[in-house]
Amino acid sequence: SAIAVVAEQRADGPFTQTVLGVTMVTDVVVVVLFTAAIELADLVLSPASRLDLSLVIGFSNRALLRIGLSMACGFWVAMVAYLLLKLPRGYGLQEAALLLLGGLTFSMEGLLRVLLQHTVETNLSESVRLEPMLSCIVAGFLLCNVLGQRGPFSALLHTVMTPALCFFFVTTGSSMQIAVIRHSLPMTLTLCGARTAALWCGSFFGSLCGGASRESRTLGWLAYMTQAGVSL
């Protein structure tokens, strides 16, 4: 959401770069923790699980496997994106190829499972899980900071940003159920208030420790309120 606002307003400068940097780091941490939490929940809720050392080892192996495969997928996405940037401009080839690559990244887990089911054991195919958001973050980092394609890739992203954001926000609005929100309104307001307070404290004290400007200390938390894209 913050990236959408920045793109719409064409914002730039130290404050904007700080917000985007914090957003990226936060997204990585959230995705990794979410991945670990899902794996732990699967193991704990399994009927055959017991709270012992084997559970810890199994959780560690599955979480590391999922994160490692996601990062490897991100490396592959970066290489493919690097090649598609070499396509001729002006015919919509790069834009279409990038959108197809994004869709392929989010469907990679299912494709890998189908492939493994026909080549190896079924148990192994069921254990393969990917985190496409982590793969995309890794791909963007490699493409801009290692392969030196920040300028061309940013220009291409700006071109395809509008249809991608329209699809994202339309699907978000269509998935909201007012009845559910009304039923859980007390919990919703409590979580919203706690999150707002935590963002203010984190932004204020983080900016204070980092030597940021007074505006960042007092207004920085507002830039992080909108960030719900990873959760959605």
Shared domain for 130 and 185, answered yes or no, is: no
Query: Model pTM?
Result: 0.73
Low-confidence winner among 59-73, 84-98, 114-128, 160-174 (lowest mean pLDDT): 114-128
- Model pLDDT, residue 18: 82
Low-confidence winner among 112-126, 160-174, 208-222 (lowest mean pLDDT): 112-126
- Which residue do the tokens 């505006």 mark? 215
Task: State the total domains in the chain.
Answer: 2
- Model pLDDT, residue 80: 94
Res 127 pLDDT > 70: no
- The C-alpha atoms of residue 223 and residue 15 are separated, in whole angstroms, by 10
Domain end marker among 153, 171, 189:
171
CA distances for 72 relative to 79, 111, 124, 134, 135, angstroms: 11, 15, 17, 10, 8
CA angle (21 as vertex; 16, 4 as ends), nearest 5: 55
Q: Which residue did the predictor score with more confidence, 127 or 59?
A: 59
Shared domain for 114 and 29, answered yes or no, is: yes
Q: Which residue did the predictor score with more confidence, 110 or 127?
A: 110
Shared domain for 29 and 74, answered yes or no, is: yes
Closest CA to 38 of 59, 65, 68: 59
Shared domain for 141 and 40, answered yes or no, is: yes
Q: What is the mean pLDDT of residues 96-108?
A: 88
- Expressed as residue numbers, the domain containing 207 is 179-232
Shared domain for 132 and 30, answered yes or no, is: yes
Shared domain for 160 and 99, answered yes or no, is: yes
Closest CA to 215 of 5, 41, 16: 16
Give the tens place of pLDDT for each residue, 63-98.
888 888 889 999 999 999 999 998 887 778 888 888
Give the tens place of pLDDT for each residue, 6-61.
777 777 888 888 888 888 888 788 888 887 888 788 777 877 667 667 777 777 88
Give the tens place of pLDDT for each residue, 214-229.
878 888 888 888 766 6
Shared domain for 202 and 150, answered yes or no, is: no
Res 162 pLDDT > 70: yes
